[in-house]
Structure 1
């Protein structure tokens, strides 16, 4: 079928990242979006460490960091008293180059991604709506409504629905969206603030029957996220003056100006499947959940990068179409786990009644302070929040465990003697790492297959990170560990690719 390789419906961060990663790998994409541009009142604000690590592949990380605002700590308040200050640096600096929470409003984020995509020759087609599509074994024929009212048929090999929670792509496929909608109504407000807590850090304030979070994206400016307890009819018409200010006052915060204000309902749903034939659901089209932990946008970006290298491999005839089945099997489990986890946290934060208030205002802050002082718990919580804990263990592309690191894990970050083992991961390509000595023909195999081999002198820091001396780490194009082989078994690499029908190409990005 002639036409585009991939039609991407939706130009939020998920769709733009998918387009960028595909374009850089030589895949021809078309991106359409029914909106006139990025929404000015976006709710996604947080870019986590794992997303920044993956952004190094396209030299995006530093640009995003420079444009965003680093929040080094989260401060927990209860009934107007500071109860805990949780700093990311003590733990995070040992685990990632990005030991902070970056606050970067989604509309700014989208503009940066769209500009990078346009520099590569791909412009988002705005005010262009997907009306219908049909697919067969050769590809997809999509009917598009153009800005001038004309209709066009777009022929494409694959279609990616990155069109949000109300996804037209998902509805057309009649894929179930299991879950529900919380009863509570939330508000978000972009505000100019002053006071002791307008210090550029993140703050969470807990009160009886109320809470608010402040995410700073500049000193004196931030995003307030709170709960509308009054479920009266017409809550959508509320203004900032109508909502409770007890939790805001508990931060000793003065709101000098409200730049915009909006209310919204929170959903918790996961699509029953992420793939149907030549069509994929990605990001919010596949899963939505509460804003607890700021995981939504980052998860959608992770979906896009997971899918992009697989699509590129299949389109270049370096892998069979069955490789694309691993997208759903790897991402749907994480989506379900994320919805379950954020659901529990959301329920705890929003529960009503005297017992719930006592637990939230008195017990939880005390436990948070104690837990943070325990190194193992602090590291676990950072890994969960930053998504560096996310793994594909037991998945169809993951094989063999050696030491603490297993197939499917994110490669542990180690920077020793100025040698950053994540630096080589900027290439979207299969590669091999050895910490110690490459033995038994590994170097010759890598050279023959055009697979880059990266050697790192063994150090105690590698052992502390869970790596095994002289073992062979095969890394996927999305930087996750595919296989860990004993140095005496170089044939394990050959069999890994043969079993999956993957053919290595001499051309690398």
Structure 2
């Protein structure tokens, strides 16, 4: 039997982000994945501005930006004729508070590759072709059985088990946690990654997302993927059609579909990955059950419309990582993990509502050019109602930043007069006490340097003051304002409560 602090089942983006966060905190963990490689397909391509900030903190944003591209404008088609061109997304704005205002596009398989490489940089690795086949939990931990590719079994003892094993989560089912929701659309959808040729192949240029929204037989969309020759193909079908990937996603079947629906002379030469689904939304009744925690699709599934599912899942892991680290390494009470359930289930419910509205607007709305606005960027999601959020300042304006909100970025100078971004100061597994005051901010005793660092910006241009207002702001390790106060004694009390 091997012992570990955290066992993660599922090495998609959710599990990998959690493993990276635990690795940089020095928390022993294992991450296992039953497949023999990372996710092979392009599904989950949209990366929202808030997620880019998370990936910045984890040290992978440069690789993601280098490999990704902007959301391309939609090129509508009527048969073989080009129609209107329009933008699908809006920018988050031009502000120092938002360093990544534009959503990015990147196939999910490439996102997984980038995250695996970062985990390996930190000394971790994924146990591919390793499946969780059973587990039992008790008040002190979880005893899990793993089956390896050669058929051998292994027993692992972990203090915590995190299920990031997808919408059909075997862990969630074994726990008996209800997973309730609704089918958003009776119409099945086929998505495939293909290599195409043919006389009209140059018409499918990489600068656009090509859509035949009124095609007879159902919508078809083609999007050349970033920095590869592969094209993502999406096709809708009639409600009574039962899709069979082995039959409907062959090169011959997809070539015939494109000829019928587009009229263009296109030939599908190869299909590298394909999947069929009916859009639905669902959420687990709870995200924590004793020593087991649910994250990502194991806890909630979304319509792909609006690009919310993968982003919400990544941020589950980001919320959970620092709390597991606090409990396991810094002596925080286990009750801190209840806030993971409370915070993320509320966010998931809100985002499920948003992605469902976007789906219905796309499918049934009168405007086929329905744009993804700033509500899809996830920058305004927060935890004002959380037990970890304390707004203790008086006379705060209604539109001001408050405890529970995302902590904005801002350029400033450090005490030595060197230029720095607040996100550079926040980066890492610690709390940051941001002192935007005229007085001293050292009038408290922190539980230790691992818990909190103090930063007093030199704010010559006023960017910090405009973003935050005045006061002492205790920034959580996941980039949200935990405490806003004018009294240094409140900082000590807050940290004492969180650390136990």
CA distance in 2, matches of 1:140, 1:447: 33
Residues 429-449 of structure 1: per-residue CA shift (max 9 Å, x gap): 1111133x351x413437785
> Who is 2:276 aligned against?
264
Residues 437-468 of structure 1: per-residue CA shift (max 9 Å, x gap): 351x4134377853322222154444553x21
CA distance in 1, matches of 2:456, 2:111: 35
Contact kept in structure 2, 1:13 and 1:301, CA below 8 Å: yes
> Who is 2:292 aligned against?
279
Asked if 1:224 is matched to 2:225, the reply is: no
Contact kept in structure 2, 1:133 and 1:142, CA below 8 Å: yes
Contact kept in structure 2, 1:11 and 1:162, CA below 8 Å: yes
Asked if 1:494 is matched to 2:497, the reply is: no
| TM alignment of 1:242-391, pairs within 5 A | 242-243=256-257, 259-260=271-272, 262-265=274-277, 266-351=279-364, 359-361=366-368, 365=369, 382-391=373-382
CA distance in 1, matches of 2:99, 2:25: 25
Residues 209-239 of structure 1: per-residue CA shift (max 9 Å, x gap): 7444544433775423332236334544213
Residues 1-21 of structure 1: per-residue CA shift (max 9 Å, x gap): 971000111111111111110
Q: How many residues align?
A: 471
Picking from 404, 407, 428, the partner of 1:408 is 404
Asked if 1:158 is matched to 2:156, the reply is: no
Per the alignment, in what secondary structure is the counterpart of residue 390 of structure 2? Answer: coil
Change (3 A) 1:444 1:74: farther
> Who is 2:137 aligned against?
135
> Structure 1-normalised TM-score?
0.84
Q: Which has the higher helix share?
A: 1
Asked if 1:58 is matched to 2:67, the reply is: no
Contact kept in structure 1, 2:412 and 2:460, CA below 8 Å: no
> Who is 2:423 aligned against?
422
Give, in angstroms, the shift of residue 44 of structure 1: 1.6
Give, in angstroms, the shift of residue 326 of structure 1: 0.3
Change (3 A) 1:8 1:254: same
Residues 139-163 of structure 1: per-residue CA shift (max 9 Å, x gap): 1111222222222221110000111
CA distance in 2, matches of 1:12, 1:111: 10
CA distance in 1, matches of 2:272, 2:280: 22
Asked if 1:26 is matched to 2:40, the reply is: no
Give, in angstroms, the shift of residue 256 of structure 1: 7.0
Asked if 1:443 is matched to 2:442, the reply is: yes
Contact kept in structure 2, 1:185 and 1:227, CA below 8 Å: yes
Cα-Cα RMSD? 2.9
CA distance in 2, matches of 1:497, 1:127: 42
Give, in angstroms, the shift of residue 360 of structure 1: 3.6
> Who is 1:241 aligned against?
255
CA distance in 1, matches of 2:300, 2:132: 20
Give, in angstroms, the shift of residue 204 of structure 1: 5.3
CA distance in 2, matches of 1:324, 1:432: 22
Structure 2, unaligned stretches of length 5 or more?
A: 414-418
Per the alignment, in what secondary structure is the counterpart of residue 207 of structure 1? Answer: coil
CA distance in 1, matches of 2:475, 2:92: 28
Picking from 177, 182, 187, the partner of 1:184 is 187
Contact kept in structure 1, 2:161 and 2:292, CA below 8 Å: yes
